Structure 1
Amino acid sequence: MPFAIGLRFYRITVRKKGEKDILPVGPGSEPCDLNDYMNDFVAKRTNATVETSEPRTWFFERKDTNSIRATHGYLNYGTHGFESKLKDVNTRQEKYNRQASDLEEIPLYFQIWTPSDSKFAIIAFQSFQGRSCVSFVRAAMVRDFQERFPSYIMSFQVLVPAASLLDTAPVKTITFIKPRKSSDRADRMLGKPMDEVDYELTVRAKKRGGVLATYSELRKLMSQSSDGFVEFDGHEFEGAKADVKMGRKRRTVGVFGSGIDAGLIDISENVKRAKSGHPVFESIMSEVDDLMEELYGNLKT
């Protein structure tokens, strides 16, 4: 099974310290045109940033774009600090013994769009099999903006599932991921403990073209325990994801839980992949462009 490809979107806003009003971000805005700031931030971080709190590195690799007031490319994310054996998947023969000093680096797509007549910018970050460096980049950007403009504050807000964006969206299926406790019935059917297999429970609308509920109604039917597990029908699962209609397409969106991030849009089945297993650049760019327009349209209404 191919590795999961996800997208997370944030709305970025600016305000003065001590004030609640959100400021415009286009040309002539105070303290700056946010588009100019974003381009400068990306340009200054094309060399690897080494995180001191964890064995992680990241840097931007910018690509040309025809989009107005947008910048995009790869956010190269690296991990190191541990040893492992690399083997041929078919022969099981060891090919390389990875050292703690070896850096594993993966390319993650990013895009930042700052509409000229808006009070916010939108940024998209890709994840790869759950791996992402969103927290590092977001913290670095907020800290850098604060240093440059001490009287202003930059804020990030997760767009999906932000209030009202998906409230009325129809849901056709809901999938619960990995039960917290083994199911005796499943154990008997499979002949092995549940913790040895991936197990999902899918609830689907019976009629063709039918829906289970709206996204907001669905969230009200479930609850989340203090340790992040989804509770449904007396059982606990690591997470839940819903098949939601967004614009002209159906998308898989994380609802909540510890096993899948809330608001993460799964595009694994929508992108073309290169031999490396990573998305073809033009393919993931097209998906992000479509979602950017859809989210922006919802935010403007």
Structure 2
Amino acid sequence: MRTFLSAYTIRIEKKRDKNHKGNHPPNYCRLNCFNGYDDLLNVISSFLQQLTTNKRNDVYNIYMKASQIQDDGRSINGLIESGIYGISSKLRDVDTDSITYKKKKSDAEVLPFYFLIYIPKDTNEGIMLLQRTGKYGIRTHFGTFLDKYFSEKFPGFAVEINTLVQEEIIKKILYGGTIKKLRCVKYQAPLDRVDGLDEGHEEIPYNMEIVLSGNKIPFMGKIQNFFNSKGSVKNLIELRDFNFDYDTVKVDVDLDGSLRTFDLGCLHRGKIYYDISDKVVIDSDDYPTFQSIQTITKTYLKEVINQIYP
């Protein structure tokens, strides 16, 4: 499976009185003294320590355990194992078609996820980086546990976690790096469109790409117009000779020897993931080693910090 990093902002909002009328912008607090004296970094540290012993949420049937917690200045990082329990099932070996284990309701299939949280002083916005493995992540589960812990400790305040909108960061990476490839992607293209198999064959959906070399076509002007116009990504590149109606455009950018991939069709929805699959070291269980993902995530954090807090 591919390994990604997803970025989020973390804030604290002071709740307004129920009798307060009118629409007002959120009342965000300074993170290092959000109620006048408590530091969110210390609160998160205590929350993670609690996750080493109090590891279940029976309302949502979520198991979550923190381990290898490390403090580094104004940041904290470690691993979280997370999974769902509450449903019994059978585990079957697909090679032998035999049942190898009967899963009980109290069994949880857990996966490890790396996290890094940065809480700067004298600001109302922190940064949280979470690992994703394929389609699996911990954003929702982590937020559920943290919100419950925080609301019990500080009932007059609320934690807010949002996807980090990185359009400006992406622009700077695109303009500061070298575009290597531009890939026009069609999702679930039927197999017979390109293979021309005999009539009556089974059509198998798959993704199809047309790859254009960045050193042969001047993409930057087109991408600049795309950002400025906020137009559809389908109008970015015209492929008349191929008669290819693509769904999105992905750009591979080399920035100081690091290859980054951005899906331009997802920028305005904030669904930005940093693919680190080719950078992490995989252990015997097919998971990234702690040291390798820690090094990559800390480097990525510096990049985000330099853009948000120049």
Shorter-chain TM band: 0.7 to 0.9
Partner of 1:230: none
Residue 174 of structure 1 and its aligned partner are, at CA, apart by: 4.3
1:148-187 to 2 correspondences below 5 Å: 148-159=153-164, 161-170=165-174, 171-175=179-183, 179-180=187-188, 182=190, 184-187=192-195
Say yes or no: does 1:107 pair with 2:112.
yes
Which of 126, 133, 137 pairs up with 1:132? Answer: 137
Instruction: Give the 3-state SS of the residue equivalent to 1:165 in structure 2.
Output: helix
Check the 8 A contact 1:77/1:105 in 2, yes or no.
yes
Residue 99 of structure 1 and its aligned partner are, at CA, apart by: 2.5
Distance (Å, rounded) in 1 between the aligned partners of 2:148 and 2:122: 25
Check the 8 A contact 1:215/1:244 in 2, yes or no.
no
RMSD: 3.5
Distance (Å, rounded) in 1 between the aligned partners of 2:141 and 2:97: 36
What is the identity, as a one-letter code, of the residue corresponding to 2:28?
I
In structure 2, relative to structure 1, the CA distance for the partners of 1:20 and 1:28 (3 Å cut) is closer
Check the 8 A contact 2:30/2:123 in 1, yes or no.
yes
Q: Deviations over 1:170-201 (max 9, x none)?
A: 25434466624525422426975232xx4231
Larger Rg: 2
Distance (Å, rounded) in 2 between the aligned partners of 1:189 and 1:119: 59
In structure 2, relative to structure 1, the CA distance for the partners of 1:220 and 1:243 (3 Å cut) is farther
Distance (Å, rounded) in 1 between the aligned partners of 2:245 and 2:59: 40
Identify unmatched segments of 5+ residues in structure 1.
224-232
Partner of 1:227: none
Distance (Å, rounded) in 2 between the aligned partners of 1:98 and 1:255: 44
More divergent stretch after superposition (210-219 vs 179-188):
210-219
In structure 2, relative to structure 1, the CA distance for the partners of 1:10 and 1:248 (3 Å cut) is farther
Distance (Å, rounded) in 2 between the aligned partners of 1:183 and 1:201: 13
Identify unmatched segments of 5+ residues in structure 2.
17-24, 235-242
Which of 66, 73, 89 pairs up with 1:68? Answer: 73
Say yes or no: does 1:42 pair with 2:52.
no
Q: Identify, as 1 or 2, the structure richer in helix.
A: 2
Which of 13, 26, 30 pairs up with 2:11? Answer: 13
In structure 2, relative to structure 1, the CA distance for the partners of 1:261 and 1:165 (3 Å cut) is closer
1:281-292 to 2 correspondences below 5 Å: 281-292=290-301
When the two structures are superposed, what TM-score results if normalisation uses the length of structure 1? Answer: 0.77
Check the 8 A contact 2:92/2:98 in 1, yes or no.
yes
Say yes or no: does 1:26 pair with 2:32.
yes
Which of 270, 277, 293 pairs up with 2:279? Answer: 270
What is the identity, as a one-letter code, of the residue corresponding to 1:165?
I
Seq. identity, % = 17
In structure 2, relative to structure 1, the CA distance for the partners of 1:61 and 1:203 (3 Å cut) is same
Partner of 2:211: 203
Say yes or no: does 1:123 pair with 2:128.
yes
Check the 8 A contact 1:175/1:200 in 2, yes or no.
no
When the two structures are superposed, what TM-score results if normalisation uses the length of structure 2? Answer: 0.75
Say yes or no: does 1:58 pair with 2:68.
no
Instruction: Give the 3-state SS of the residue equivalent to 2:295 in structure 1.
Output: helix
Distance (Å, rounded) in 1 between the aligned partners of 2:75 and 2:305: 14
